[in-house]
Amino acid sequence: MATIKITKNNFDQEVLKSKEPVLLDFWATWCGPCRMVSPAVEEISEEVKGIAKVGKINVDEESELASQFRVMSIPTLMVVKDGKVAATSVGLRPKKDILKMLEV
């Protein structure tokens, strides 16, 4: 598994200070669409090794981060580049659309 578990403790280092763009997957164990998009997110994390990072944020465990990014529905996917949100997508998306988000 190449995805990184993002918590409030490692958020600054793994996301804000990252030299590569970071795809964040806001999810929860009880969320059906989250489970459906998860395999695509895992595949992407392998495909973009070295050019981007992929992190998963469990909204139940990290409610502060979900709040900070105003996540109202999950799955929410965000790309953070140079410490700023560059792209956001809410809901189930095909893998090709998620990969396009990283091209920002």
- Say what the pLDDT of residue 57 is: 97
Element (H, E) at 83: none
Query: In the chain, where are the structural domains located?
Result: 4-88
Map tokens 């973009």 to a residue.
48
- Catalytically active residues are 31, 34
The 22-27 sheet, strands edge to edge? 4-5, 53-58, 22-27, 76-81, 84-90
Task: Please give the structure tokens belonging to residue 55.
Answer: 């992190």
4-88 topology per CATH: Glutaredoxin (3.40.30)
pLDDT at 104: 63
The answer to whether the Cα torsion of 12, 13, 18, 24 is positive or negative is negative
pLDDT digits (tens, 9 = 90+) for 36-54: 999 999 999 999 998 999 9
Average pLDDT, the chain: 94
pLDDT of residue 2: 83
Residues 37/25, Cβ–Cβ less than 8 Å: yes
